Amino acid sequence: MAMDKLIFNNKEFTYYEYTKEAEFEEDVVENASKIFGQKSIYIDIKKRIGIRFYQF
């Protein structure tokens, strides 16, 4: 079995496949500042859609 991995700046990252979309979304919300940057503002749009219809 092949294991996908990435080595960057002497750090090794291994591939992880989420079995549930909710698990993936939770990790994105918890790590938003690491993923998108410290100065970013992450809005969990799925939660907002669930409250009422999305409007611009």
Task: Say if CB 44 and CB 36 are below 8 A apart.
Answer: no
How confident is the model at residue 45, as a pLDDT?
79
| Average of per-residue pLDDT across 30-48 | 87
How confident is the model at residue 53, as a pLDDT?
55
Domain range summary for the chain, segments of one domain joined by + = 18-51
How confident is the model at residue 55, as a pLDDT?
54
Residues found in the chain: 56
Q: CA angle, 3 as apex, 32 and 30 as ends, to 5°?
A: 15
Percent of the chain with pLDDT over 90: 61
